[in-house]
Amino acid sequence: MIYLDNSATTKPDPAVLESFNQVSRQYYGNPSSIHQFGGTAEKLLITAKKQAAEILQVEKEELIFTSGGTEGNNMAIKGVALEHQNRGKHIITSEIEHPSVFEACESLKKLGFEITYLPVNDKGVISISDLKAAIRDDTILISIMHVNNEIGSIQPIEEIGAIAGNYPKLFFHVDDVQGLGKVPLDLKKSGIDLCTYSGHKIHGLKGTGMLYVNKRTKLFPLFHGGSQESALRSGTENLAGIVAMVKALRLIKEKEKNEIAKMYEMQQFIMNEVKAIDGVNMNTPEEAAPHIVNISVPGIKPEVIIHMLGEQNIFISTKSACSSKLKDESKVLAACGFQADRTTSALRISLSYDNTMEEIKTFIGALKSAISEFKKALE
């Protein structure tokens, strides 16, 4: 099998699974139980958080363990909105956010919030002057993703943070689900108040994630109950999942340091090969995250190519898995200003550090023959 759908989810690292297994067997106590067995579980929980905080260079009190990216984004956006609505009811985000940001913002309209969606250029990047112009007296939140999940474009987070920093009433949230472990991001330097992470995108397990909440930021919790996670996220901690994720975090950060060049090399190879195929558009900009290549083959339904490749056990995807079930147009590509033939025929190839050049070459061969076969059938 050649798995090239790593932006949808990744294969759990065997070492991570081993940790999950061991924690589930040995440390199943509830960290909130006051007996010693619970105490050990709590200690493991704290140790895991400490390690994650060290890796991300934040304080351990600034990390909240969540169930993943969707929860993190909802917690950040609704949490800020509900807690600080007296300051104002205006939120700025972009047109290419993940549905968990977009829909969370849309839902707040029912509570009287106004949302400004910043447009992007054909490289999938917002403009700083648009952002500046959009900020109003009643703006309380800017939520911008770091790396786009469909095309891999990178937003100027540091610049946005510097602007947000001029407005003390304003909070700055970043969805870094796709960037973690692939595109370095300095939380402190970028002036970020909230940052969402997901475990299963970095070879951890589904149902795990983290939200960074810096010390100055107060949130209204979505889950009330036993006051776990500094009372921001009640519910018995998924200790095994958490430990697994933190291990995955450590492993991917080591790879980010040592193997990122290799991933860029694979991406560059795909881009060069694909550009040479007649009738294929490249949707991923030059300056992009190393793991995503998005192309369109106008005239061919993307499902057809997915299935043709699938027959050879090669797995890529159409748009992001999360929005694939909606309409057949990619909102992200439409926001980049591409025409309908291109926005409805997109394919996404997404890499992980596990992929090899050999796999990539096999995939390119299969893609080329799939396209030419399809064209022949039409003639």
Partner 1 sequence: MEFDHILIRYGEMALKGKNIKQFINQLQQNVQQKIKEFPGVKVKRTQGRMFVLLNGNDPKAVMEKCKNVFGTQSLSLAVKVENDVEKIKEAALYALNNGENIHKFKVTVKRINKDFPVRSQEMNQVLGGHLLTNTDGITVDVHHPDVEVKVEIRNEATYITSSVVPGLGGLPVGTSGKSLLLLSGGIDSPVAGFLSMKRGVEIEAIHFHSPPYTSERSKQKVLDLAKQLTKYGKSIKVHIVPFTKLQQEIFREMPDAYAMTIMRRMMFRISEKVCEQESILSLTTGENLGQVASQTMESMHTINEVTNYPIIRPLVTMDKQEVIELSHEIGTYETSILPYEDCCTIFVPKSPKTKPKRDKVNYYESTHDFTASIQEAVNGIETIKITDKKDPTETFHDLL
Tell me which residues in 318-377 interact with partner 1 (CB under 8 A).
Answer: none
- 199 neighbors 248 (Cβ within 8 angstroms): yes
CB of 225 to partner 1, least distance (A): 17
Answer yes or no whether residue 225 interacts with partner 1 by CB under 8 A: no
Contact 8, 350 (CB under 8 A): yes
Nearer to partner 1, 257 or 376 (CB): 257
Q: Which position among 32, 51, 85, 312 is part of the footprint of partner 1 (CB under 8 A)? A: 51
Q: Which of 105, 195, 322, 336 is catalytic?
A: 322
- How many whole angstroms separate alpha carbon 279 and alpha carbon 298? 7
* Residue among 253 and 375 whose Cβ is closer to partner 1: 253
- Rounded to a whole number of angstroms, the minimum distance from the CB of residue 61 to partner 1 is 6
Looking at residue 122, what DSSP letter applies?
A: T
Q: Determine the interface stretch with partner 1 among 1-9, 43-51, 178-186, 193-201 (rule: CB under 8 A).
A: 43-51
Site for partner 1 in 56-115 (CB under 8 A): 60-61
Residue with smaller CB distance to partner 1, 250 or 368: 250
3-state helix, strand, coil in the chain (%, to 5): 45, 15, 40
Q: Quick check: 36 binds partner 1 (CB under 8 A)?
A: yes
Tokens coding 328: 């057949």
Strand partners, 296: 281, 346
Question: Which residue type occupies 148?
Answer: N
* Stretch binding partner 1 (CB under 8 A), from 31-39, 65-73, 114-122, 324-332: 31-39
Q: How far apart are CA 159 and CA 162, in angstroms?
A: 5
One of 47, 258, 268, 313 touching partner 1 (CB under 8 A)? 47
Q: Helix crossing, 239-275 with 36-56: angle to 10°?
A: 30
Residue 273 CB, nearest approach to partner 1 (Å)? 39
Closer by beta carbon to partner 1, 23 or else 292: 23
Is residue 143 within 8 A of residue 91, CB to CB? The reply is yes
Q: Helices in 221-379 by DSSP H: which ranges?
A: 239-275, 302-310, 331-335, 340-343, 357-378
CB of 138 to partner 1, least distance (A): 29
Q: Is 336 a catalytic residue?
A: no
By rule CB under 8 A, what string of x and - marks binding of each residue 231-250 to partner 1?
------------x--xx--x
Q: Which residues lie below 8 Å from residue 257, measured CB to CB, with a gap of 6+? A: none
Which of these ranges, 42-50, 116-124, 301-309, 330-338, lies near partner 1 under the rule CB under 8 A? 42-50
Q: Strands 171-175 and 209-213, how do they pair?
A: unpaired
Cβ proximity to partner 1: between 243 and 314 the closer is 243
Q: Where are the beta strands (DSSP E) in the chain?
A: 2-3, 63-66, 90-94, 114-118, 139-145, 171-175, 194-198, 209-213, 281-282, 292-296, 314-315, 346-350
Q: Taking CB under 8 A as the rule, does residue 42 contact partner 1?
A: yes
Considering the complex, what minimum distance in angstroms separates the CB of residue 19 from partner 1? 5
Distances (CA, A) of 281 to 41, 214, 320, 341: 52, 41, 18, 11
Tokens coding 94: 């972009």
**Least distance (Å) from partner 1 to the CB of residue 200?**
18
Query: Minimum distance between the CB of residue 36 and partner 1, rounded to whole angstroms?
Result: 5
State which residue, 246 or 371, has the beta carbon closest to partner 1: 246
43 is a contact residue toward partner 1 (CB under 8 A): yes
Stretch 9-28: interaction string toward partner 1, x if CB under 8 A: ----------x--xx-----
**Is the Cβ–Cβ distance between 364 and 273 less than 8 Å?**
yes
For position 39 contacting partner 1 by CB under 8 A, the verdict is: yes
Catalytic residues: 322
Residues that bind partner 1 (CB under 8 A): 19, 22-23, 34, 36, 39, 42-44, 47-48, 51, 60-61, 243, 246-247, 250
